[in-house]
Structure 1
Amino acid sequence: MKKLKRLIGALGMLAMLVVVLTACGSRQSLAKQDVLTNDKASKTITWGVKADTKLFGLMDVKDNQIKGFDADIATALTKRVLGKNATAKFVQVTSQTRIPLLKNGNIDAILATMTITPEREKQVDFTNSYFDAGQSLLVKKGSAIKSVKDLNKSGTKVLGVTGANSVENIKKAAPKAKVLELSDYAQAMTALKSGQGVALTTDNGILYGMASQNPGYEVVGGTFTKEPYGIAVNKGQEPLKKALNKALKEIEADGTYNRILKKWFGNVAGFDYKEASR
């Protein structure tokens, strides 16, 4: 009887393993399928967007909808690629999770303040740039920190977000500073307020959004890097990439892009809306 129970238990474990492996295989094959063909069939593009970044993608607690520049651009592109009745579905991502979710087939594309870099191009393919940002600093008003040069002192603590390109950039620009990495921008802002660092660094557009939510803080020092944002798709998804590039040109040509840009950045103090327009 004991041997029979052991056999039944072993068979049960084997069955569970088969289910897990089958699920993993399905997920992997899904990521390798022609995403554009699947999206045309479902009339839906599933986008990875930020939900903690004011102006670009922020969760509205009133209706649990992600709203921002990236979300509106994603919606406009979806309707260009699939038709006016198509749906843009949003999945919340962070700087750490966005590429893994894309590679696993959980999302079709990333539109989430993602800078095009040679290192990332080894993992994903990018469309043409849809927003040209630059890295800057957020500090408490009255701070002695006026530029990135002021951070290059031994022991100076600077705050960043894990997985963001800005962390590596600040290490190069201020090698003597100590960088404290947080998991998301909300935690980084809390750390800045509690004095865990003298400045928070990331792209200027993101920082202007944070400054608008926190009147006691300001963006200083201009920009010390160029950060072109691109839409990321999985390797091998050339049809989707071409369709998105075509759609980007169309919304820039007919004024849709500038209307969305003005909606989110037109009244942001310190942000040069006209310089960013296309």
Structure 2
Amino acid sequence: MSFSLKSLVRVMALSCVSLAGMAQVHAAELPPVPDEIKAAGQLRAGVRCDQPPYGFQNNNGDFAGVEVEMSRQIALWALGSKDKVTFTCVTAENRVPQLLGRKVDFLIATLGVTPERQRVIDFTTPYRWGASDVVVKKDSPIKSIKDLNGKTLATLKGSVQAKWFEDHMPEVKTLRMNSAADALQT
């Protein structure tokens, strides 16, 4: 019986979720690594580079964060070494196209599950729950989401938040940015 890369990543990501205090995963318990991955000898992970503590590049330009470490653990289980993973920075906007275009083998990139995304992506069980906030200056008159009507809000291109405002509060203008850092500087 052969497993797809999606199945392998699903099982391995689920195993990563249980890393804290749970039994160690044994290679014999995991599905076989797809032949194309074995042949390449390397996993290609798409990770965020602007979402500390999940995925970012440190002061030396090295990839770091929880999702980077999860990718390394998957490489250890799949290929025997945490060093057998290469990283590609992905953004909220380009992460799905990077995966569908086979530029990366899998994403660990703060990607929320939506019905639209489920039509084209095979998700693992989520390993974290995310929430959204609106950041305003301390003395801002904006106290609730309703106060955003008629205002411009910086969001990330390709994010569920941008789509939510478009669908539910069309009177809020969105300025769609490439990165969280860009959005915070506006």
TM-score of the superposition, structure 1-length normalised? 0.51
Residues 39 and 86 of structure 1: CA distance in aligned 2, closer, same or farther (over 3 Å):
farther
Q: Which has the higher helix share?
A: 1
Cα contact 1:40–1:82 (8 A) shared by 2: yes
| Percent of pairs with identical residues | 29
CA distance in 2, matches of 1:69, 1:138: 24
Higher strand share: 1
Aligned counterpart, 1:9: none
Count of aligned positions: 155
For residues 103-182 of structure 1, the aligned pairs below 5 Å read: 103-151=100-148, 153=149, 155-182=150-177
How far residue 166 of structure 1 moved from its aligned partner, in angstroms, is 1.0
Offset, 1:86: 5.3
SS of residue paired to 2:68: helix
What is the CA-CA distance between 1:167 and the residue it aligns to? 0.3
Structure whose alpha-carbon radius of gyration is higher: 1
On the 8 A contact 1:148/1:173 being kept in 2, the answer is no
Q: Structure 1 residue 139: deviation in Å?
A: 1.7
Task: State the match for 1:96 in structure 2.
Answer: 93
Partner Cα separation in structure 1 for residue 83 and residue 37 of structure 2? 9
- Pick from 37, 52, 72 the counterpart of residue 35 of structure 2: 37
Q: 2:77 maps to what in 1?
A: 80
> Cα distance, 1:161 vs. partner?
1.0
Residue 84 of structure 1, CA deviation:
4.1
SS in 2 for 1:140: coil
Q: Gapped runs of 5+ residues in structure 2?
A: 1-32
What aligned pairs does 1:224-243 form with structure 2 within 5 A after superposition?
A: none
Match for residue 48 of structure 1? 46
Superposition deviation, residue 149 in structure 1: 2.8
Please list the CA deviations of residues 49-82 of structure 1 after superposition, one character each: whole Å capped at 9, or x if unmatched: 11122212111232x2121121112112222333
Gaps of 5+ in 1: 1-34, 192-278
Give the Cα separation in 2 of the matches to 1:144 and 1:108: 45
Shift of 1:40: 2.7
Q: Is 1:43–1:86's contact at 8 Å kept on the other side of the alignment?
A: no
CA 1:85 to 1:173, structure 2 compared with 1: closer, same or farther past 3 Å?
closer
What amino acid maps onto 1:101 in structure 2?
Answer: Q
- Give the drift of 1:109: 0.6
With over 3 angstroms needed to count, the CA separation of the structure-2 counterparts of 1:104 and 1:171, relative to structure 1, is closer
Give, as a single letter, the amino acid of the residue that structure 2 aligns with 1:45.
L
Q: Secondary structure at the match of 1:125?
A: coil
Tell me the alpha carbon deviations over residues 132-183 of structure 1, each in whole angstroms, 9 at most, x when there is no partner.
Answer: 11222122223232332322x2x21111011111101123443321111112
Matched residue, 1:58: 56
Q: Larger relative CO (CA 8 A, sep 6+): 1 or 2?
A: 1
CA distance in 2, matches of 1:168, 1:130: 23
Q: TM-score if structure 2 supplies the norm length?
A: 0.74
Contact 2:75 2:82 in 1 (8 A): no
User: How far apart are residue 185 of structure 1 and its match?
Assistant: 1.6
